Structure 1
Amino acid sequence: MREAEAAELPRLQEIERAAGEAFRGLGMGWVADDEPPALTVLEGFRGEGRAWVAVEPAAGGGDGPPLAYLLHEEVDGAAHIEQVSVHPAAARRGLGRELIERLAGRARAGGLSALTLTTFTEVPWNAPYYARLGFRALGEGELTEGLRRIRGVEREIGLDRWPRVCMRREL
């Protein structure tokens, strides 16, 4: 686990596209067809140290290409997971969990109170997965202004075609 490098940003887009294909089987083709974050957006996260990757060691030493990535930002005193994606070829190895745990450690050391995210409630690798990692669904009255803003953007772009939830894990 390490910070992403500028040359790896197109690979993050590839991971996002590949990971998105799983949504097609759930009748969520619109999610699968959604374009990954633009390189300029990814560079913004990377340039601020908020884009991390999970890699395997390369055969000759050094790192192989990224297999998973996480983007995060601070929202209302919490480390907010903007995106975490794992390439399907590397699924079920705990890479997403490891990235989240790294963020939890960093956030705790930085004095943040929690991790937050927004996700689909009925997708097995979304809300049920995060619940297993210690996140809990927030009620409407528990949402911070920042989370309300994020949910508003999600509604505007059509993600509410499927049930969504904000989740929080105390640190």
Structure 2
Amino acid sequence: MTKDLCLGDLRLRAAELADIEPVRAIERASASRFVGTDRAWLADDDPTDAQTLAERVAAGGLLVACDGEVPVAFVMFREVEGCGYIEQVDVLPSHERRGIGARLIAAVADLAPERGWPALTLSTFKDVPFNAPYYRRLGFEDVEVLTPGMVEIRVEHEARGLDERTRVFMRREI
């Protein structure tokens, strides 16, 4: 992403190393949405480690939406099997329901042609309203047969304690 984009009163830009701790704070705050559900443990889960975030910054795989100069949302992504794999999208609770997450995903889709990605993929909870149903509204479709890369991601998720029976991989063509 070579230039900043406006999102109404917000600005979308490539993340910088100085954004790592604010991104981790956004991830922590966003996880509070799971409190009161059968996945409440996610609210206590550690956010993405700083090293991984630094790697995404270096690779151009982390975008932030800023209110003034303060990051309020982010999308983290990387290439997996020639497609853009969206690892995480989080928005501060104070900025939810403004279309910020959708615009961040659209920004990743906008990067896809220059990176040679024919599609975006992701993995998410099947039955959480702000997960799979939300992504379906954004044009993602369930993947029935997992690719080797998706199987590898599933193994990573299971190692973190995620119940993959409650999750689905999704894909959206560009």
| TM-score (ref. length: structure 2) | 0.90
Q: Provide the aligned C-alpha RMSD in A.
A: 1.2
| Contact 2:157–2:164 (CA under 8 A) maintained in structure 1 | no
Supply the AA of the counterpart residue of 1:126: N
Instruction: Provide the residue aligned with 1:44 in structure 2.
Output: 55
Q: Distance in 1 between matches of 2:115 and 2:100?
A: 23
| Contact 1:54–1:95 (CA under 8 A) maintained in structure 2 | yes
SS in 2 for 1:158: coil
Tell me by how many angstroms 1:170 deviates. 0.7
Instruction: Provide the residue aligned with 2:111 in structure 1.
Output: 106
SS in 1 for 2:163: helix
Supply the AA of the counterpart residue of 2:122: L
Q: Distance in 2 between matches of 1:81 and 1:107?
A: 12
Query: Which stretch of the first structure deviates more once superposed, 101-110 or 84-93?
Result: 101-110
Supply the AA of the counterpart residue of 1:18: A
SS in 2 for 1:93: coil
Q: Unpaired segments of 5 or more residues in structure 2?
A: 1-11
Supply the AA of the counterpart residue of 1:108: P
Q: Distance in 1 between matches of 2:142 and 2:164?
A: 19
Supply the AA of the counterpart residue of 1:131: R
Q: Percent identity?
A: 43
Instruction: Provide the residue aligned with 2:33 in structure 1.
Output: 22
Instruction: Provide the residue aligned with 1:34 in structure 2.
Output: 45
Q: Distance in 2 between matches of 1:69 and 1:126?
A: 16
Instruction: Provide the residue aligned with 2:8 in structure 1.
Output: none
SS in 1 for 2:72: strand
SS in 2 for 1:15: helix
Instruction: Provide the residue aligned with 1:124 in structure 2.
Output: 129
| TM-score (ref. length: structure 1) | 0.91
Q: Unpaired segments of 5 or more residues in structure 1?
A: 59-63
